[in-house]
């Protein structure tokens, strides 16, 4: 009996970062977002490793139903989008596994032993901020809260995006300050 090959439609969506583009599919790829900021970080993900073989690929981010690719400044999306689409489409149609080993979760899991203020921050990040950031091809993860400062990690298209500072200060910081009075500032690590 012959196995039917899965037909995959890959379409693109722009986001605020001009050097990042979302390559979307109509099914779930991963339950948790995974960021590959370098080719060496992608050894556990054959698809990301293959994307990094293109010299212009600088970052790969895989989320629910999309893969955000960040390219170098010196190349135009018009010239490289068909190659990336073709690679992703072929990979997914062959039914290859995305990961050699399932990566550790970076969720907003609430620990009942954590202070209430951290629990509130995590809930707000997860319910209000994460969905909006994912719409733009990125992700946000809680790192820490100390002395009124919330530290987060921005991933995917958010990393290196010219508008990420505005989003961080005008959007995320304002919301957290309004909803959690203990928050005085929000900063991004590793941007």
Residues 6+ apart with CB under 8 A from 121: 142, 145, 150, 176, 180, 183
Burial of 5 (0-12, 13-18, 19+ CB in 10 A): exposed
- How many structural domains are present in the chain? 2
Q: Convert the pLDDT of each residue in 95-147 to its tens digit.
A: 888 888 766 555 556 677 888 888 888 888 888 787 777 777 777 888 888 99
In a domain, 173, yes or no: yes
In the prediction, which pLDDT does 70 show? Answer: 93
Counting as low any pLDDT under 70, the low residues of the chain are 1-4, 102-110, 157-167, 190-191
Whether the pTM exceeds 0.85: the reply is no
Alpha helices (H) in the chain, listed in sequence order: 46-52, 77-93, 116-124, 130-135, 164-166, 174-179
Q: Which of 93, 108, 126 is the last residue of a domain?
A: 93
Measured between alpha carbons, how far is 107 from 35 in angstroms, rounded to an integer? 13
6, 90 contact by CB (below 8 A)? no
Identify whether residues 79 and 123 lie together within a single domain.
no
In a domain, 185, yes or no: yes
DSSP H or E run through 73: none
Burial of 22 (0-12, 13-18, 19+ CB in 10 A): buried
In a domain, 89, yes or no: yes
Strand 149-156's sheet: what is its strand order?
138-146, 149-156, 185-189
CATH, residue 123: 3.30.300.130
> If we measure between CA atoms, which residue out of 21, 22, 26 comes closest to residue 93?
26
Identify whether residues 127 and 79 lie together within a single domain.
no
In the prediction, which pLDDT does 109 show? Answer: 67
In a domain, 108, yes or no: no
Identify whether residues 133 and 175 lie together within a single domain.
yes
Q: Which of 62, 78, 93 is the last residue of a domain?
A: 93
CATH, residue 50: 3.30.1370.70
In a domain, 2, yes or no: no
Q: Quote the domain boundaries for residue 144.
A: 116-189
In the prediction, which pLDDT does 23 show? Answer: 96
């Amino acid at each position: 009996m012959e196995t039917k090959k899965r037909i995959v439609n890959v379409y693109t969506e722009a986001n605020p970062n001009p050097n990042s583009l979302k390559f979307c599919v109509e099914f779930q790829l991963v339950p948790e977002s995974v960021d590959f900021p370098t080719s060496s970080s992608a050894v556990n993900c054959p698809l990301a490793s293959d994307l990094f073989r293109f010299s212009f690929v600088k970052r790969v981010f895989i989320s629910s139903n999309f893969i955000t690719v960040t390219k170098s400044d010196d190349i135009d999306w018009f010239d490289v989008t068909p190659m990336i689409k073709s690679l992703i489409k072929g990979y997914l149609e062959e039914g290859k596994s995305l990961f050699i080993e399932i990566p550790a979760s970076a969720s907003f899991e609430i620990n009942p032993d954590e202070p209430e203020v951290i629990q509130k921050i995590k809930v707000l990040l997860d319910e209000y901020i994460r969905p909006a950031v994912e719409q733009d091809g990125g992700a946000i993860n809680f790192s820490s809260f100390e002395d009124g400062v919330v530290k987060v990690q921005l991933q995917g298209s958010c990393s290196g995006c010219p508008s990420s500072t505005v989003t961080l200060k005008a959007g995320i910081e304002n919301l957290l300050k309004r909803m959690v009075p203990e928050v005085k500032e929000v900063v991004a690590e590793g941007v």
